[in-house]
Amino acid sequence: MQSRALLQMEESGKDSAVVSRANQSRVLPRRLLFLVVLFLLLCFTFSVVSIFMIKQFGVNSIFEAVKPSFQSCVLEHQLNSLDRWIKPLDLMHNMTDEELFWRASMVPQIKKYPFRRVPKIAFMFLTKGPLPLAPLWERFFKGNEGLYSIYIHPLPSYQTEFPSSSVFYKRRIPSQLTEWGRMSMCDAEKRLLANALLDISNEWFVLLSESCIPLYNFSYVYKYIKRSRYSFIGAFDDPGPFGRGRYSENMLPEVDITQWRKGSQWFEINRKLALYLVEDIRFHQKFSEFCRPACYVDEHYFPTMLTIKAANLLANRSITYTDWSRGGPHPATFGRADITESFMKKLYGNRSCLYNDHPISVCFLFARKFAPSALEPLFLLAPKYLGF
């Protein structure tokens, strides 16, 4: 009897275990189904919200919140490495001119670089607004990455617009208002130099305007500048009314009349001379006070100061061609109708100048002033005459 009772109890226990497992198997699919439905509901809600935000704010705004975290990681890496001293991550900053010039004037005392330094040319565009000849410059720079840097100083009110594929993309620096013939023009040039000096690999600095074009391909321009023992800035003694006639005795004792020089605004200088200009305070104060129209400071400040500081490093000529043959306060401007094969031949006409103290026929690497309408014919003639 006892054994039969035990057998019945065992069978009853087995039945209850089977029932329990069956109930659990029915509960599990219900929970799984609930989770799947919840997941799908969340996905649907996220999709609806995303579509709404894209319609309201655009795709770029959706991802704007992600950018700061990524940029902060990049910035943190730069701040904790040598990169911050070699090349700035972003050209836009909030430094004042005083802070910028101080930072740019820092010079390493150990001459051997702890990285592979490839010397570059800094192309500095001092502009009013757009760069109408940008497509020609794009072709000039193409294939020469790592050998140049670009800096643009437009009027503060102008909003630069270049596609991300352009060499001019994000090459604008913080700018200020400039006036022709005033010290603000020289300040803008110093601002370009200072920002370019922040890239330790920039060795040569060329000042250009939106109306300038290159006359040779990049390879030729690079070798011409690199191999020169002198910097190309005009600094001549003009005894006439537009030279010494603009001198004021108030410039003494910093500048004697025998040191007074005049030259073109458009120059090419090396890193050493760029540092002289950026770190200067003494001459800047004198020229600000005592060289005002009809003394045009952009024609006298840099030529005079560099003659005093390093006359032996100056070629005393510009490498930017300008046509003054038509007379007046401004040089000739060339438009579509002017750009012909005969014009191009004349542009490269018989010339003679000194290069490393020896006569040479190639005296200009750039030319101005070219109107926006000149772009199309220049583009067509570039392969034959400009070499690119």
DSSP 247-270: --GGGTTT--GGG--B--S--EEE
Q: What is the pLDDT of residue 39?
A: 74
Q: What is the mean pLDDT of residues 271-276?
A: 98
Pairing status of strand 202-209 against strand 268-270: antiparallel
Q: What is the pLDDT of residue 246?
A: 98
The radius of gyration of the chain from alpha carbons, rounded to an integer in Å, stands at 34
Q: What is the pLDDT of residue 21?
A: 46
- Domain extents in the chain: 121-386
Phi-psi sector, 44: left (phi>0), alpha (psi -120 to 50), beta? alpha
Tens of pLDDT, residue by residue over 315-353, are: 999 999 999 988 877 899 999 999 999 999 999 988 999
Tens of pLDDT, residue by residue over 282-302, are: 999 999 999 999 999 999 999
Tens of pLDDT, residue by residue over 19-74, are: 444 444 454 567 777 777 777 777 677 676 666 655 555 544 444 444 455 555 55
What is the CATH code for 121-386?
3.90.550
CA distance 89 to 171: 11
Strand ranges inside 137-236, DSSP E? 148-153, 202-209, 213-214
Burial class (CB in 10 A: 0-12, 13-18, 19+), 310: middle
Mean pLDDT of the chain: 88
Q: What is the pLDDT of residue 272?
A: 98
Q: What is the pLDDT of residue 68?
A: 52
Q: What is the pLDDT of residue 350?
A: 87
CA distance 362 to 220: 11
CA distance 151 to 123: 6
